[in-house]
């Protein structure tokens, strides 16, 4: 009996101190197969991305794409732009160190085709499409040095993060070596990492206070140990983008005499006229959604939340209002969804299992939404955040679900087919547990595997 089996999983003595909210429904019959606290508000962690993406698909459409425009501001005379280059962003999260060479070299070619080989002024990063507040509401300050808490801008490069590689010195007691890629972050990296004995454990920390460019890397790394990597956020994404662009244009034969600057630091009006030189268009939302959901990329979710705001400067607050307006006709009210950011990193986010199931069921019924949304979800035992879960079970290759995790929080919500082929939708949320997170994940997996072997 399904009810009895799931009850047995959740009433394990090891789980008694935590809180659970579970709802399972049939997508075919519409009936409820199991419910435990389905209307209780719970911290969802990254399952908030389920809400954000569903609303974005509804409001923007799967073909939506971001554009980034390069303008020449000033007169052009004998190969010289007497003025500035201005790059105007709309939030594209997908320009990275890996694909920027092709994009920026293409822009260099467009500049040369427009008769520009020398720029007397600056590269100005215009991020005014988004509000200046780059951080999510309620984000913990000690998360901010990490790449998963990178700030959001209308101009974004390399997911607003750099990689710090730590290499042990020749012998114990020596200073470790550091390198940062890609360059241009503006971070003032302070290295206090020591080389430990060969039999010690690697222990590295990254600390940066909000608003500070000072990044302190500390701890130790054993002698002879392989290089270790930390992924850390940058302080000013707009300036990071502008610096990367300036460096690439110079490398491709366009001489730029002025610095890279954030438009917020520009106090003189750039020269007129302004001519559009080139436009880069991002992949469509259907493609961006795969990175967002498969690996749970917070920056993509926060970008979408602001993008949903109806006009510039686009704010998270107005984006949240658009999400609420999108899901309200589906049956999700303010009593079952309290959203403060797009990704679920905030501990002020709350959602019910009933709301998640309602959203997922609506997406399944709507042919406009279903295909790309389901394709973006991790597949049990195969990829994304489910790649190592439920392998060798009836759920492997069957269950598709979004996961969520932070301290004291685990969640999994999505779809699975029963043994008889009946499509089911489920949401499982656990909060306030003190046991090892692996025990909570094992309980979630046991429920999903049981659904995959269920028949009636």
Distances from the Cα of 170 to the Cα of 177, 203, 261, angstroms = 10, 18, 40
Separation of CA 301 from chain center:
5
pLDDT in tens, 1-51: 999 999 999 999 989 899 999 999 999 999 999 999 999 999 999 999 999
Mean pLDDT of 180-202: 95
Give the separation between CA 345 and CA 342, rounded to whole angstroms.
8
- φ/ψ of 448, rounded to 5, equals -65, -40
Residue 313, pLDDT above cutoff 90: yes
Q: Report pLDDT for 441.
A: 98
Whether residue 393 is found in the same domain as residue 325? yes
Number of independent structural domains in the chain: 3
**pLDDT of 93:** 98
Token readout for 240 is 């990071």
The whole-angstrom separation of Cα 217 and Cα 25 is 48
Q: What does the pLDDT average to over 336-356? A: 98
User: What CATH number corresponds to the domain at position 94?
Assistant: 3.50.80.20
**For the chain, give me the number of helices (H) and strands (E)?**
10, 20
> What CA–CA distance (Å, rounded) separates 412 from 409?
11
User: 3-state class of 418 per DSSP?
Assistant: coil
Residue 13 has phi, psi (to 5 degrees) of -55, -30
The CATH number of the domain where 359 resides is what? 3.40.710.10
In the listed set 281, 311, 343, which residue is the last one of a domain according to the structure? Answer: 281
**Average per-residue pLDDT for the chain:** 96
CA distance 420 to 119: 67
Q: Mean pLDDT, to the nearest integer, of 401-413?
A: 98
215-266 pLDDT, tens digit per residue, is 999 999 999 999 999 999 999 999 999 999 999 999 999 999 999 999 999 9
Q: Could you tell me if 32 and 7 lie in one domain?
A: yes
Kindly state whether residues 179 and 265 are assigned to the same domain.
Answer: no
Residues 296, 426, single domain; the answer is yes
Active site residue ranges: 46, 49, 296
pLDDT value, residue 270: 78
Domain boundary among 218, 252, 281: 281
Do 346 and 365 lie in a common domain?
Answer: yes
Regarding whether 347 and 229 lie in a shared domain, the answer is no
* DSSP 8-state assignment for residue 42: B
What are the tens digits of pLDDT across the range 280-306? 999 999 999 999 999 999 999 999 999
DSSP β-bridge partners for residue 405 = 410
- pLDDT at residue 357, as a whole number: 98
pLDDT per position as a tens digit, 192-215: 999 999 999 999 999 998 889 999
Strand arrangement of the beta sheet that strand 188-196 belongs to: 188-196, 214-222, 203-207
Is residue 220 a contact partner of residue 203, using CB atoms and an 8 Å limit?
A: yes
Percent of the chain with pLDDT strictly greater than 90? 97
Tell whether omega for the bond before 456 is within 30 degrees of 0, i.e. cis. Answer: no
Residue ranges with strand state E in 91-175: 118-119, 123-126, 161-167
On whether both 303 and 432 belong to a single domain, the answer is yes
Same domain, 380 and 404: yes
CB atoms within 10 A of CB 225: 18
In which domain, by residue range, is 221 found? 141-233
Please answer whether residues 181 and 97 qualify as being in contact, where contact means their C-beta atoms are separated by less than 8 angstroms.
yes
Angle between helices 285-294 and 48-60 (to 10 degrees): 180
pLDDT for position 39 = 98
Q: Are residues 58 and 71 in the same domain?
A: no
Same domain, 311 and 369: yes
Predicted TM-score (pTM) of this structure: 0.96
Confidence grade of residue 269 (pLDDT, cut at 50, 70, 90): confident
Gap between the terminal Cα atoms of the chain = 10
User: Once rounded to an integer, what is the mean pLDDT over residues 102-109?
Assistant: 98
Encode pLDDT of 119-149 as tens digits.
999 999 999 999 999 999 999 999 999 999 9
The dihedral region occupied by 128, where left means phi > 0, alpha psi between -120 and 50, and beta the remainder, is alpha
* Residues 374, 308 share a domain: yes
Domain boundary pick from 233, 253, 272: 233
Same domain, 335 and 448: yes
Question: What digits encode the pLDDT tens for the residues 161-170?
Answer: 999 999 999 9
């Amino acid at each position: 009996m399904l009810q009895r089996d799931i009850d047995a999983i959740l009433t394990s003595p090891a789980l008694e101190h935590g809180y659970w909210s579970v709802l399972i429904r049939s997508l075919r019959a519409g009936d409820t197969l199991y419910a435990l606290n389905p209307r209780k508000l719970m911290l969802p962690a990254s399952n908030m991305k389920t809400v954000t993406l569903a609303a974005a698909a509804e409001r923007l459409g799967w073909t939506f794409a971001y554009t980034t425009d390069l303008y020449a501001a000033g007169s052009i005379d004998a190969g010289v732009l007497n003025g500035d280059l201005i790059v105007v962003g709309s939030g594209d999260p997908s320009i990275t160190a890996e694909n920027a060479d092709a994009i920026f070299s293409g822009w260099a070619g467009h500049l040369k085709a427009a008769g520009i080989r020398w720029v007397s002024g600056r590269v100005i990063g215009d991020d005014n499409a988004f509000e200046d507040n780059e951080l999510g509401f309620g984000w913990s300050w000690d998360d901010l040095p990490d790449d998963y808490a990178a700030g959001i801008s209308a101009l974004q490069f390399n997911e607003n993060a750099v990689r710090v590689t730590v290499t042990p010195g020749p012998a114990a007691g020596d200073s470790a070596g550091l390198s940062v890629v890609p360059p241009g972050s503006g971070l003032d990296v302070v290295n206090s990492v020591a080389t430990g004995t060969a039999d010690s454990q690697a222990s590295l920390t990254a600390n940066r206070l909000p608003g500070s460019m000072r990044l302190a890397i500390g701890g130790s790394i054993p002698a002879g140990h392989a290089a270790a990597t930390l992924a850390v956020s940058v302080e000013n994404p707009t300036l990071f983008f502008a610096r990367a662009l300036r460096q690439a244009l110079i490398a491709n034969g366009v001489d730029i005499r002025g610095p890279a600057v954030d438009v917020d630091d520009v106090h003189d009006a750039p020269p007129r006229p302004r001519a559009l030189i080139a436009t880069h268009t991002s992949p469509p939302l259907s493609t961006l959604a795969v990175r967002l959901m498969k690996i749970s990329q917070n920056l993509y979710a926060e970008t979408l939340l602001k993008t949903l705001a109806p006009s510039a400067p686009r704010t998270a607050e107005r984006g949240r209002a658009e999400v609420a307006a999108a899901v309200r006709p589906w049956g999700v009210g303010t009593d079952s969804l309290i959203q403060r950011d797009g990704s679920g990193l905030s501990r002020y986010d709350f959602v019910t299992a009933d709301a998640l199931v309602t959203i997922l069921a609506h997406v399944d019924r709507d042919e406009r939404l279903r295909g790309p949304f389901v394709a973006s979800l991790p597949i049990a035992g195969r990829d994304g955040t489910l790649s190592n879960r439920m392998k060798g079970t009836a759920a492997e290759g069957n269950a598709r679900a979004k996961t969520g995790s932070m301290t004291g929080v685990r969640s999994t919500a999505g779809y699975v087919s029963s043994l008889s082929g009946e499509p089911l939708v489920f949401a499982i949320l656990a909060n306030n547990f003190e046991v090892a997170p692996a025990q909570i994940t094992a309980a979630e997996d046991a429920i999903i595997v049981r659904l995959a072997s269920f028949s009636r």
